[in-house]
Amino acid sequence: MLYRSAAIVAGAAAVAVAKPCSSVFPTSTSAPAPGPTVKVDVGFRPHYIVDQMAPGPLKEEMEACANMDFQPSDFVIGHRGGGTLQIPEHSLESNLAGQRMGSGVLECDVAFTSDLELVCRHSQCDLHYTTNILLIPDLAAKCTVPFTPAADGQPATATCCTSDITLAEFKTLCAKMEGFNASATTPEDFQHGTPAWRTDLYAAGCPKVLTHKEHIKLVDGMGLKFTPELKLPEVEMPFQGNYTQEMYAQQLIDEYREAGISPDRVWPQSFNYPDVLYWIDNEPEFGLQAVWLDETADDPANFPNSIAFLDTVKADGVQYLAPPLPYLVQSDNGTIVPSPYADRANELGLNIVAWTLERSPPLAQVREEGNYYYFTIQDAVHNDGDIFTLLDVLYRQIHIKQIFSDWSGTVTYYINCVGGV
Ligand SMILES: *[C@@H]1O[C@H](CO)[C@@H](O)[C@H](O)[C@H]1NC(C)=O
Ligand SMILES: *[C@@H]1O[C@H](CO)[C@@H](O)[C@H](O)[C@H]1NC(C)=O
Ligand SMILES: *[C@@H]1O[C@H](CO)[C@@H](O)[C@H](O)[C@H]1NC(C)=O
């Protein structure tokens, strides 16, 4: 286990280095397909959230569902696999957890390797803090910015991109919990950084990284659906002189077609608006469910412009709009209510997909310190019981169609309970 302090598990670390990819899962290039028959198990966390809720009708409604027979639901999108709160993101294991906890749709964020193969990574240049690449000297040497130790008050740095390595090299990596130690003086120290409210408990061994093709095979075998996100390139395009943005957007769709996946099982997403228009124009069947990820109002001063732009989105034929949680809600004297942005999206008949639940510290801490996903409702949350308060406003008042969650079981519990499956 590579991410603990050497003092605690020196012996285990030595074993892990000797057998870097030992795992209970096969290491062949074709991911196993567990099949569609998994019984949904939401685990303990949703019950904890219900216990935390303030007394009232919603709590009573949620309590009454404690012993339900939970079903999977397309309402529940497994963000970066769906077990990301506690299991390394985009790993096989995170996807298995997402399936087990009832996600109907699993996410692969897509980036390309130096040999132009598509792999699942949250960003093109996150390998240094989501995998063990810096512990593999041959690959660490290929990083865009090699590891530089912290010194003279400057933080440790590294930048390792999927486009720095080949597909075959990518497949030798192990996924880890997202995070790094900015004070690190060695690559080993740099691996640490998991916040206390997450865990390294399920990062032991070698959590398995996935290619996009493996993800498709895996999720198809589960009988579930797909939401791939075309990540913004962090290299100059056209890459290598002739690999264009359009070729990249096309390749993503081609991999579903080659696998025989029906377009109605796929929600391709992008923050880059031209990608969404490309799919609508060039792949109309897949374009029907193309999702535009909006992050244009992170500066609240931009809300009026972002709301006005929704008319353009509608006119362009985009049918799915995916804003972050705080764009959709606001605090009315401590009560969570729909925002003008949500009202306008609904007036236009756009399908709203929200992101991302279960990605924040405990909400008692959020209330004190603030957090991106709660920046419009900081004073309206008190503890983790408000995860269901928020979700109820999103579902019953804003009528969102789907929501990304770092912990699928939480949303599966809610949507089964309210009869929305
Ligand atoms: C971060 O790195 C510094 C310097 O190597 C080390 O002293 C510290 O213990 C590390 N922190 C963690 C959480 O591993
Ligand atoms: C880009 O150009 C090189 C050199 O001409 C060629 O080998 C390669 O196949 C081209 N790649 C693409 C994606 O067209
Ligand atoms: C805001 O909420 C507080 C506490 O619930 C209440 O006392 C107060 O009257 C409310 N103010 C307004 C303007 O609704």
Stretch 54-59: mean pLDDT, rounded? 98
Closest C-alpha among 143, 142, 156 to residue 189: 156
Write the residue with the smallest CA distance to atom 13 of ligand 1.
192
Q: Are 3 and 189 in contact (CB under 8 A)?
A: no
55, pLDDT greater than 90: yes
| Ligand 2 first shell, C-beta below 6 A | 242-243
Closest C-alpha among 43, 49, 62 to residue 362: 49
| Partners of 112 in beta bridges | 118
Write the residue with the smallest CA distance to atom 13 of ligand 3.
333
What is the pLDDT, as a whole number, of residue 34? Answer: 62
Round the average pLDDT of the chain to a whole number and report it.
93
- For residue 184, give the ligand 1 atom closest to its CA: 2
DSSP 25: S
What is the pLDDT, as a whole number, of residue 419? Answer: 97
Write the residue with the smallest CA distance to atom 7 of ligand 3.
333
In this structure, which ligand is nearest to the CA of 379? 3
Dist CA 415 CA 80 (whole Å): 20
pLDDT bin (cut points 50, 70, 90) of residue 13 is very low
Mutate to test the pocket of ligand 2, among 118, 237, 242 (most ligand atoms within 8 A of CB): 242
What is the pLDDT, as a whole number, of residue 37? Answer: 74
Q: Who contacts 204 (Cβ-Cβ below 8 Å, separation ≥6)?
A: 1, 12
- Ligand 3 centroid–CA 364 distance in Å is 21
Q: Who contacts 392 (Cβ-Cβ below 8 Å, separation ≥6)?
A: 58, 414, 418
What is the pLDDT, as a whole number, of residue 1? Answer: 29
Write the residue with the smallest CA distance to atom 1 of ligand 2.
242
Dist CA 403 CA 78 (whole Å): 9
pLDDT bin (cut points 50, 70, 90) of residue 33 is low
What is the pLDDT, as a whole number, of residue 18? Answer: 32
19, pLDDT greater than 60: no
Write the residue with the smallest CA distance to atom 9 of ligand 1.
189
Quick one: what percent of the chain has pLDDT higher than 90? 91
- Ligand 3 centroid–CA 379 distance in Å is 13
12, pLDDT greater than 80: no
pLDDT tens, position by position, 118-142? 999 999 999 999 999 999 999 999 9
Write the residue with the smallest CA distance to atom 12 of ligand 1.
192
DSSP 128: H
279, 260, 121, 206: CA torsion to nearest 10: 180
Element (H, E) at 291: strand 291-293
4, pLDDT greater than 60: no
What is the pLDDT, as a whole number, of residue 76? Answer: 98
- For residue 242, give the ligand 2 atom closest to its CA: 1
Write the residue with the smallest CA distance to atom 8 of ligand 2.
242
Dist CA 107 CA 85 (whole Å): 14
Closest C-alpha among 394, 311, 390 to residue 354: 394
- For residue 193, give the ligand 1 atom closest to its CA: 13
29, pLDDT greater than 90: no
Dist CA 122 CA 271 (whole Å): 13
- Ligand 1 centroid–CA 155 distance in Å is 12
375, pLDDT greater than 90: yes
Q: Are 418 and 87 in contact (CB under 8 A)?
A: no
In this structure, which ligand is nearest to the CA of 8? 1
- Ligand 1 centroid–CA 206 distance in Å is 22
Which residue has tokens 């609240």? 300
pLDDT tens, position by position, 300-320? 999 999 999 999 999 999 999
Dist CA 155 CA 181 (whole Å): 9
What is the pLDDT, as a whole number, of residue 317? Answer: 98
What is the pLDDT, as a whole number, of residue 35? Answer: 66
pLDDT tens, position by position, 154-209? 999 999 999 999 999 999 999 999 999 999 999 999 999 999 999 999 999 999 99
Cβ atoms within 10 Å, residue 341: 25
39, pLDDT greater than 90: yes
Question: The dihedral of CA 238, 239, 242, 245: what is its sign?
Answer: negative
Q: Who contacts 50 (Cβ-Cβ below 8 Å, separation ≥6)?
A: 59, 62, 63, 66, 385, 388
66, pLDDT greater than 50: yes
278, pLDDT greater than 60: yes
Stretch 340-351: mean pLDDT, rounded? 98
Number of H helices, E strands in the chain: 18, 13
- Determine if ligand 3 sits within 6 Å of the CB of residue 333: yes
289, pLDDT greater than 70: yes
Closest C-alpha among 345, 358, 370, 361 to residue 404: 358
In this structure, which ligand is nearest to the CA of 179? 1
Q: Are 385 and 50 in contact (CB under 8 A)?
A: yes
What is the pLDDT, as a whole number, of residue 291? Answer: 98
60, pLDDT greater than 80: yes
